[in-house]
Amino acid sequence: DQVVVVVDDGAGLPGLPADPRLFAVSLARNTATAGVVRNVGIRLTRSRYVAFLDDDNLWEPDHLEQAIAVLESPGGPDAVYTALRRMLPDGSERDVLSVPFDRRRAAHEAFLDTNAFVARRTRSLYFSRLRRTPEVLPREDWELVRRYARRHEVRHVPRPTVRYLVNPESFYTAWDGQTPTG
């Protein structure tokens, strides 16, 4: 059974379809820390698996099916992430980001995004609540995956099942195509 939990961080929710599997929660104010918002979503579900999707990105219709098939396969990992199809604001494809998992590399390179990440729900699946400076703010995703991978197997699925909007106005996007380091 799949449940969708929408957590609004104070910006307001658009009209949502009537569906008994859809739950929406609005926080009183913007926390300015995406991890806090995501932790609310994690805590509100009792499902076996957790996946994340930001409001400016899209999953392909079979994203969850592909990820869960790998998770439930014999000897399956605890988490998977798929390749990302990076899209420009005009709708054209920029490239596909598809890199095999390497925990050491994940400490300093942006090759994995939580929009493509699907994991078994465990006590160790949570985002840090610490505020970050603008220089390290995007590393919130990487910190989660790196910490989770200490005790859980993470595997890459090289099939692009996520459309990730590359926005030149966004602090979080490496617009020049270079992978952020440091």
For the stretch 121-170, pLDDT in tens is 877 776 666 555 555 555 677 777 888 888 999 999 999 999 999 877 76
Tell me the pLDDT band of 177, cut-offs 50, 70 and 90.
Answer: very low
For the stretch 21-37, pLDDT in tens is 887 778 777 766 777 77
* pLDDT recorded at residue 134: 56
Q: Is the pLDDT of residue 176 over 70?
A: no
For the stretch 43-57, pLDDT in tens is 888 889 989 888 888
Looking at the whole model, is its pTM more than 0.85? no
Six token digits for residue 159: 């099939």
Mean pLDDT across 14-19: 82
Q: Is the pLDDT of residue 172 over 60?
A: no
DSSP strand E in the chain: where? 4-8, 22-26, 49-51, 58-59, 79-87, 93-97, 117-120, 154-165
Six token digits for residue 53: 């999707």
Q: Is the pLDDT of residue 16 over 90?
A: no
Domain ranges within the chain, ordered by starting residue: 51-165
* pLDDT recorded at residue 86: 92
Phi, psi of 123 (to 5 degrees): -65, -25
For the stretch 75-134, pLDDT in tens is 999 999 999 999 999 999 999 999 999 988 877 776 788 899 999 987 777 666 655 555
Report helix, strand and coil shares of the chain as percent, to nearest 5.
20, 25, 55
